[in-house]
Structure 1
């Protein structure tokens, strides 16, 4: 990587030296550091600059949407309605199961005071389980919100 950067310097008319140390290490530099450094002849080692990016279009100049090609496969409206109905059914099933899961989690959570288990003699274990339950409830609530948004977005 460093050698590529130094090769770019060579295009700017700087002399590049390859220095091999007595232990075999190789270093490329623009400074001659003694007899273990040899000048490199790099004709045509020009690395072009990347092309300039075009400025973002002005606010008033919104590019026209790209139309689909004529041979692009299309789905007729009856098929699309059937697909949407299938999707809605799947999402509603997921919503129903997620709602049941949330109800069970809240019941077990018992307003922040779930029953202690026999293996939780250490209070820290109990607190860890309660924190995990809070996280599960939060995650389930977010899943329900996302499912409701998806169902609302179906045509």
Structure 2
């Protein structure tokens, strides 16, 4: 009960009165409390929301059956979409395939270098890795990088297979 009264009180404060007060130098201050006789009550309309207006009259079910389907009527905008001829599309696909194959070769070289550096799970220790924990961190990082590169290679192979 007290919660409801508090909420109603907060709602009424949100709809409270607003005053504009002017000082002797002409500066205006907006406040919810009347500070002096120079304050004037503002007449502000409450916040009103309006439902969206309908642009067309509703169509009766019998009339709706006689209308062509939306896809046939061109509502999707596919008719206005620019078309690419077959030759141009094949050229684009070949360019895309070439780019992906270049990326694949690069990733495969990177994968081979990472496998060599990892040395079958036992990479050589570096001079700054006297602490075994540092060595373990580097090995874990190498394994993560190797796994990520393997995923990249697999994704590139899938992408190349999906090209028409």
CA-atom RMSD, angstroms? Answer: 3.6
Q: Which runs of 5+ in 1 are unaligned?
A: 1-8, 19-27, 52-62
Give ranges in structure 2 of 5+ residues lacking alignment: 1-10, 20-30, 53-69
* Contact 1:106–1:137, Cα closer than 8 Å, also in 2: yes
How many Å separate the matches in 1 of 2:158 and 2:50? Answer: 47
TM-score, normalising length: structure 1: 0.62
Q: Does structure 1 residue 84 correspond to structure 2 residue 87?
A: no
- Check if 1:136 corresponds to 2:137: no
Measure, in 1, the Cα distance between the counterparts of 2:156 and 2:46: 57
| Deviation (angstroms), 1:16 | 4.4
Write out per-residue CA displacement over residues 32-84 of structure 1, whole angstroms, 9 at most, x where no aligned residue. Answer: 8xx86x99645313142676xxxxxxxxxxx74714244x4322101110110
Aligned residues: 126
**Greater Cα radius of gyration, structure 1 or 2:** 2
Shift of residue 109, structure 1, vs aligned partner = 0.7
The answer to whether structure 1 residue 68 and structure 2 residue 69 are counterparts is no
- Seen in structure 2, the aligned counterparts of structure 1 residues 39 and 107 have a Cα distance that, compared at 3 Å, is farther
* Structure with greater proportional helix content: 2
Aligned to 1:116: 125
